[in-house]
């Protein structure tokens, strides 16, 4: 057995570029290519698709774009494929792939992992009545539930590979499991190998968003801007202890560095010492990032602290309807005109609702894009001559949402001057599938591996109980004779993302010496000035709304904002329901730093 496992990450979401698979195949020397297609929003979309068509509910791009054009080369190279493209209908995805394999005359064996779909247990779940694991909200009514999926891990995937599968298709699993499953199979790791499992999971976390590890969404985007159209997809070279190198195919665009990989390390991890996965609880606080060659970074130091006894489970449920539209204004007083138009639209709609004896909208969002509405208290006011008014509403009744669209467009001839917009069809009311998350004990989830040899049950093996690790001491408050104020981007790289209604911003110091200043600057009070307009917090929850975590070995911190996304991507009316731009707001905000230190570092650069 090779002491190194080479895995290419070809997809970070449903819709990722089709060039990834041929690029990684051309690079050669890979053992696996893995594909991550699923997110909470994707699961909601797939659940709606399956409700209309029993043969739908999976990521069709996996068949048409990733597999069909490349099956001959995949078979020739003898590498293996793992994908969660099965979504809410993995059997249908596997059937479509097997049909394509047969059409092309290949002999590739396909295995399917099932058991994550818990809709058949909804009565039992309702009887148990779990609260939401993040907000504590009660479980939604049984009749509104659209899907229930447990997040499976890597061991069932490894079992399918052990049985000889060339391609493994799963339903909902944690994003990193497609990589971890390959590593478990290759190295023979078991539940006791906690640090190795944590390292393999971290490798999967780096690969799971494709080119976000190689220069995509990078703070210093100009450093990679010249060749983004040819950006390289990431490759992880994993060792038997779980440490790994990150690289990319030779001759491709992008960059593999402490900054690009570090941003992805921090992306959407929440508490870095309690990153809970089905197979292992991970502590990433001691991870080290070492540049060992151009476009090659060594990642080591992940620790496992035990094996969780439950699967995170996500339930989607019908929660009314939403819609929105954008209306652009340009010319003098554009901001004032856009605001007046939005207020007029909502007044007219509410008057019509009262005449219908219907309740008010359950949520309304007005954001004036171009007038720095995203910046809140950090907004730099000034006369705006070009503004887009984004107006969105939610209501239990689709007719009320349709009323908004009718009244808004009907004001087109009765608005302040300067209204314009791209001509097209009027948006329609969209059903909202909201997210509810809870824990399901592993013994209540029946996982099966099905392949050409039949089907077998996977039984989760217990491991050591999870133990909370000691918290690292935060940086000592720094002192300096001379201070200067600069935007945070001068001191750090950052990336932000979401988990349901929770936003996170990972911040990585450009130099270790700057980390104490970053920690001292990004206090809860400062973060509330930057993000307070996004937070939905009661007085009692104010202190819990913002959390900060320190990662001393990679000179970084992670910030977690609870209730910051208007309900999360599946139901939010926000322009940025997944916090993709929150890091940019933080990087633009001014902070204090030692002026002499900053000048020395700039001189060295």
User: pLDDT per residue over 255-304, tens digit each?
Assistant: 999 999 999 999 999 999 999 999 999 999 999 999 999 999 999 999 99
In a domain, 465, yes or no: no
pLDDT over 50 (residue 385) = yes
In a domain, 326, yes or no: no
End-to-end CA distance of the chain: 44
**Cα–Cα distances in angstroms (integers) from residue 54 to residues 47, 88, 295, in the given order:** 10, 10, 45
21 with 111, same domain: the answer is: yes
Confidence (pLDDT) at 538: 47
Confidence (pLDDT) at 542: 56
In a domain, 325, yes or no: no
Q: What are the two backbone dihedrals, phi and then psi, of residue 310, each rounded to the nearest 5 degrees?
A: -135, 160
Among 367, 384, 417, the domain-final residue is 417
Interatomic CA distance for residues 298 and 263, integer angstroms: 15
For the chain, the 3-state helix, strand and coil shares in percent, each to the nearest 5, are: 35, 25, 40
Confidence (pLDDT) at 460: 87
Could you tell me which residues come within 8 angstroms of residue 284 by beta carbon, excluding any fewer than 6 positions away? Answer: 198, 202, 265, 269, 272, 273, 275, 302, 303, 551
In a domain, 137, yes or no: no
pLDDT over 80 (residue 422) = no
Residue among 288, 229, 283 at smallest CA distance from 254: 229
176 with 54, same domain: the answer is: yes
Task: Read off the pLDDT band of 539 (50, 70, 90).
Answer: very low
Please count the structural domains in the chain.
3
Polymer length in residues for the chain: 605
284 with 354, same domain: the answer is: no
Interatomic CA distance for residues 83 and 99, integer angstroms: 17
Instruction: State pLDDT tens for residues 176-208.
Output: 999 999 999 999 999 999 999 999 999 999 999
Q: Kindly state the helix (H) or strand (E) to which residue 15 belongs, with its residue range.
A: none
Instruction: Enter the tokens of residue 60.
Output: 């069709």
Confidence (pLDDT) at 362: 96
Name which of 82-86, 408-412, 463-467 the model is least confident about.
408-412
Strands 310-330 and 145-150: antiparallel
Residue among 564, 559, 590 at smallest CA distance from 579: 564
209 with 172, same domain: the answer is: yes
504 with 569, same domain: the answer is: yes
Confidence (pLDDT) at 426: 75
In a domain, 429, yes or no: no
230 with 103, same domain: the answer is: yes
Rounded (10°) CA dihedral 364, 370, 374, 375:
-140
pLDDT over 80 (residue 121) = yes
Q: Kindly state the helix (H) or strand (E) to which residue 178 belongs, with its residue range.
A: helix 177-187
* Residue with more model confidence, 539 or 358: 358
In a domain, 265, yes or no: yes
pLDDT over 70 (residue 2) = no
Instruction: Enter the tokens of residue 320.
Output: 């009314």
Task: Read off the pLDDT band of 444 (50, 70, 90).
Answer: very high
Interatomic CA distance for residues 439 and 441, integer angstroms: 7
In a domain, 475, yes or no: no
Could you tell me which residues come within 8 angstroms of residue 51 by beta carbon, excluding any fewer than 6 positions away? Answer: 146
Instruction: State pLDDT tens for residues 232-253.
Output: 999 999 999 999 999 999 999 9
Name which of 102-106, 112-116, 429-433, 584-588 the model is least confident about.
429-433
* Residue with more model confidence, 413 or 35: 35
Instruction: Enter the tokens of residue 429.
Output: 């009311």
Starting at the edge strand found earlier in the chain, the sheet holding 492-499 runs 492-499, 502-509, 556-561, 546-551
The average pLDDT across 551-576 equals 94
31 with 122, same domain: the answer is: yes
The average pLDDT across 46-74 equals 94
169 with 208, same domain: the answer is: yes
254 with 336, same domain: the answer is: no
The average pLDDT across 75-79 equals 97
Confidence (pLDDT) at 424: 67
Interatomic CA distance for residues 560 and 581, integer angstroms: 14
Interatomic CA distance for residues 373 and 382, integer angstroms: 12
159 with 285, same domain: the answer is: yes
In a domain, 206, yes or no: yes
156 with 257, same domain: the answer is: yes
Among 417, 432, 448, the domain-final residue is 417
> With pLDDT > 70 as the criterion, what percentage of the chain qualifies?
98
- What average pLDDT does the chain have? 94
Neighbours of 462 (CB within 10 A): 10
Confidence (pLDDT) at 540: 42
66 with 184, same domain: the answer is: yes
Q: Which domain holds residue 557?
A: 483-604
């Amino acid at each position: 057995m090779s002491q190194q496992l080479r895995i290419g990450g070809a997809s970070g979401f449903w819709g990722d570029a089709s060039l990834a698979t041929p690029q990684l195949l051309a690079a050669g020397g890979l053992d696996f290519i893995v594909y991550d297609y699923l997110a909470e929003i994707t699961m909601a979309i797939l659940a709606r698709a399956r409700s209309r068509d029993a043969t739908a509910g999976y990521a069709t791009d996996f068949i048409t774009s990733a597999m069909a054009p490349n099956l001959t080369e995949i078979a020739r190279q003898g590498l293996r494929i793992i994908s969660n493209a099965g979504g809410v209908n993995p059997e249908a995805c596997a059937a479509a792939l097997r049909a394509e394999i047969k059409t092309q005359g290949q002999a590739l064996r396909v295995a399917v992992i099932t058991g994550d779909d818990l809709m058949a247990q909804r009565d039992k779940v309702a009887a148990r009545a779990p609260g939401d694991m993040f907000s504590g909200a009660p479980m939604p009514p049984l009749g509104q539930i659209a899907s229930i999926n447990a997040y499976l891990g890597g061991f069932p995937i490894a079992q399918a590979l052990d049985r000889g599968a060339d391609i493994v298709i799963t339903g909902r699993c944690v994003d990193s499991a497609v990589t971890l499953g390959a590593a478990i199979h290759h190295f023979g790791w078991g539940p006791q190998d906690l640090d190795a499992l944590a390292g393999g999971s971290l490798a999967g976390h780096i690969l799971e968003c494709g080119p976000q590890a190689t220069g995509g969404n990078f703070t210093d985007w100009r450093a990679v801007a010249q060749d983004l159209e040819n950006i390289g997809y990431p490759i992880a070279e994993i060792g038997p202890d779980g440490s790994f190198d990150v690289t990319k195919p030779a001759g491709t665009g992008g960059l593999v560095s402490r900054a690009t990989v570090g941003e992805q390390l921090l992306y959407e991890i929440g508490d870095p010492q309690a990153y809970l996965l089905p197979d292992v609880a991970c502590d990433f606080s001691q991870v080290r990032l070492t540049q060992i060659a151009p476009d090659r970074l060594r990642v080591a130091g992940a620790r496992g602290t035990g094996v969780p006894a439950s699967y995170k489970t996500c339930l989607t449920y019908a929660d009314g309807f939403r819609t929105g539209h954008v209306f652009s204004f340009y010319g003098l007083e554009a901001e004032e005109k856009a605001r007046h138009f939005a207020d007029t639209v909502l007044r007219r709609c509410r008057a019509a609702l009262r005449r219908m004896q219907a309740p008010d909208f359950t949520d309304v969002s007005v954001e004036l894009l171009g007038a720095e509405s995203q910046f809140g208290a950090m907004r730099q006011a000034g006369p705006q001559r070009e503004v887009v008014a984004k107006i969105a509403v939610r209501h239990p009744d689709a007719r009320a949402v349709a009323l908004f669209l009718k009244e808004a467009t009907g004001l087109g001839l009765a608005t302040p001057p300067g209204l314009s917009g791209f001509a097209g069809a009027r948006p329609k009311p969209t059903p909202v599938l909201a997210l509810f998350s809870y824990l399901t004990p592993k013994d209540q989830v029946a996982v099966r591996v099905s392949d050409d040899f039949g089907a077998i049950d996977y039984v989760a093996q217990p491991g050591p109980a999870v133990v909370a690790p000691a918290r690292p001491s935060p940086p000592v408050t720094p002192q300096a004779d001379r201070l200067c104020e600069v935007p945070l981007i001068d001191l750090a790289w950052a990336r932000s993302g979401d988990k349901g209604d929770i936003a996170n911003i990972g911040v990585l110091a450009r130099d270790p010496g700057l980390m104490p200043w970053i920690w001292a600057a990004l206090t809860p009070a400062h973060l509330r000035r930057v993000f307070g307009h996004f937070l939905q917090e009661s007085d009692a929850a104010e202190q819990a709304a913002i959390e900060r975590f320190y990662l001393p070995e990679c000179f970084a911190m992670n910030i977690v904002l609870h209730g910051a996304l208007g309900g999360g991507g599946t139901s939010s009316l926000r322009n940025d329901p997944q916090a993709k731009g929150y890091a940019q707001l933080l990087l633009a905000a001014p902070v204090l730093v030692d002026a002499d230190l900053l000048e020395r570092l700039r001189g060295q650069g």
